[in-house]
Amino acid sequence: MPVRKAPVASIIEQGGHCVLAPLKLGIAGLGHVGCGLIELIERQARLRLPGEVQVTGVSARSRSRNRPVEIGNYEWFDDAGELAASENIDAFIELMGGSDGPAKIAVEAALEAGKPVVTANKALIAEHGQALADLAERKGVDLLFEAAVAGGVPVVRALRDSLCGVEVSRVSGILNGTCNFLTTEMLASGRSYDEVLAQAQSLGYAEADPTLDVSGMDAAHKVAILSAMAFSADLDFSKVELEGVDGVTLLDLRLADRLGYRIKLIAEGVAANGGVVCRVAPMALEFGHPLAQVNGSLNTVRIEGEPLGAVTLTGPGAGPGPTASAVMGDIAKLFNPGVRSAFGGAKHHLSRKFVGARKSEQAAFFLHVRLSDRSGALAGVSEALAEANVSIDKLLQDSADAENVSPVAIVTHPCARSGIDDAVARLSQLDAVVDATRVIRIEAN
Ligand code: HSE
């Protein structure tokens, strides 16, 4: 039997009024987001929380590191797990990151000790969320993770609570601010991938290990969480397919732009193949596509379903301020604990499974072929496509560079993914084709 979640804040009398007793927090992880949260807590009088929150204990990898906030007044814990189970806290706030290791141990310790948990850790929730949600439910405490998906965009509880009356068919969007910043800024400024990535890191958008962003892993964690909620599915992260922006070049972006497309990292979960198909990949969007003009570090999530139609939420998806504000929203929720499970659906709804990508995927594709500039080279390309039954919709060839390599951009008519795989295999056999051919699916409007 699910237990009704226990209130964590008691009512006290103050100046003739009944008010909620301060909520005592233990915060583990004092990086960009942890410090952003402490700054926000310091100016809580200007926010709209239902009661007062107090930081009583903190934990991080290094006590002495230079930080923009003063932590000397809080009890220090070398071990986040000890903080999580401390009698001096009402709730545990996990901002360490990492799917396993100290973050998981500490969150389990807090839940076992009957403390509600607020976390921004998408890797932890994507990979162990189901088990942690079960534990939280058994203990009758909240496990909240609004900040784990799309930073400051309030999509998790919107999906879990407000949209529970919608039969969702698709959840999609731009879920990694670093990647969106990369593809936007490279094209706008003509700067290299490395320069723009360094800027994203200095702005606090990127993960401590930015390969998690550029490989598509971070967006995959987020879309897996949203899909589990949207489809009441048993979250199985191993089934999520991902491809990042780490291979996308400035030339890819420029060629696509000249043909009328923006390349962006898109994440999606759809009800298909008898289950839930979840994937992340760079996709080419026509300028008129609803997501094509979502630029910089903005995130956007589009939820489609009946009888709603579609709803789109857009906002800052990365950075310490927006993420800390989402954590704060969850902390405020602890004054009024809910009875819903962490992922929303009741246990008996968990019938759907995550399955592999759509076998019969039909789409148009953007190809960037790198071609030695000599007679007959382009004819070889069109012949390879024809042999694979792939028909060309648009084609653009630029003059050769100093190495005599000419970029050729092709937009195909819709075809099966297997046809494109066949065409690319044929192209790779041609002497005139140098480098691997870039293949990017075109997302229909
Ligand atoms: N690194 C993430 C992003 C932010 O760039 O969107 C935290 O999820």
> How far, rounded to the nearest angstrom, does the alpha carbon of residue 327 sit from its chain's CA centroid?
16
Closest ligand 1 atom to 120 CA: 8
- Domain membership of residue 196 (yes or no) is yes
User: 307, 339, 371 — which closes off a domain?
Assistant: 339
For the entire predicted model, the pTM comes to 0.93
If asked whether residues 176 and 137 sit together in one domain, one would say no
Same structural domain for residues 110 and 139?
A: yes
How many structural domains comprise the chain? 3
Q: Which residues are catalytic?
A: 222
> pLDDT for 258-304, tens place per residue?
999 999 999 999 998 789 999 999 999 999 998 999 999 999 999 99
**How remote is the CA of residue 219 from the centroid of ligand 1, in Å?**
8
Angle, helices 102-112 vs 122-139, to 10°: value is: 20
2 within a domain of the structure (yes/no): no
Angle, to 10 degrees, between the axis of helix 217-230 and the axis of helix 122-139? 30
Question: How far apart are the CA of 222 and the centre of ligand 1, in A?
Answer: 10
Atom of ligand 1 at shortest distance to CA of 323?
7
Local structure of 402: helix, strand or coil? coil
Pocket probe mutation, ligand 1, options 178, 217, 221, 299, max atoms within 8 Å of Cβ? 178
From atom 4 of ligand 1, which residue's Cα is the shortest distance away?
A: 318
Same domain, 177 and 292: yes
Residues 181 and 307 reside in one and the same domain: yes
Same domain, 367 and 301: no
Nearest CA to ligand 1 atom 1: 206
Domain contains 295: yes
Residues 239 and 122 in one domain: no
**Tens digit of each residue's pLDDT, the chain (445 residues):** 455 565 566 777 777 777 778 999 999 999 999 999 999 999 999 999 999 999 999 999 999 999 999 999 999 999 999 999 999 999 999 999 999 999 999 999 999 999 999 999 999 999 999 999 999 999 999 999 999 999 999 999 999 999 999 999 999 999 999 999 999 999 999 999 999 999 999 988 888 889 999 999 999 999 999 999 999 998 999 999 999 999 899 999 999 999 999 999 999 999 987 899 999 999 999 999 989 999 999 999 999 999 999 999 999 998 899 999 999 999 999 998 876 788 887 665 557 899 977 556 789 999 999 999 999 999 999 999 999 999 999 999 999 999 999 999 999 999 999 999 999 999 999 999 999 999 999 998 8
Mutate to test the pocket of ligand 1, among 207, 209, 222, 280 (most ligand atoms within 8 A of CB): 207
DSSP string, 171-196: EEEE--HHHHHHHHHHHHH---HHHH
168 and 71 fall within a common domain: no
Nearest atom within ligand 1 for CA of residue 206: 1
The answer to whether residue 311 is domain-embedded is yes
pLDDT the model gives residue 444: 84
Indicate if ligand 1 lies below 6 Å from the C-beta of 317: yes
Residues 172 and 281 in one domain: yes
SS (H, E, C) 140-157: CCCEECHHHCCCCCCCHH
Domain containing residue 104: 11-151+334-339
Please tell me the distance between residue 252's alpha carbon and the centre of ligand 1 in angstroms.
23
Decide whether any atom of ligand 1 lies within 6 Å of the 206 Cβ: yes
| Residue at 434 is within a domain | yes
Considering the domain architecture, whether residues 159 and 307 belong to the same structural domain is answered as: yes
Q: Pairing between strand 233-234 and 352-355?
A: parallel
Residues 89 and 66 in one domain: yes
Residues 6+ apart with CB under 8 A from 211: 217, 246
* Ligand 1 geometric centre to CA of 353 (Å): 26
| Domain assignment present for 215 | yes
Spatial separation of the C-alpha atoms in residues 297 and 322, rounded to whole Å: 11
- Give distance in angstroms: CA of 183 to centre of ligand 1: 14
Kindly give the number of the ligand 1 atom that is closest to the alpha carbon of 175.
6
Same domain, 63 and 129: yes
CATH number assigned to the domain comprising residue 180: 3.30.360.10
Q: Are residues 237 and 379 in the same domain?
A: no
Q: Is residue 408 part of a domain?
A: yes
- For residue 218, report the distance from its CA to the centre of ligand 1, in Å: 7
Q: Is 231 in the pocket of ligand 1 (CB under 6 A)?
A: no
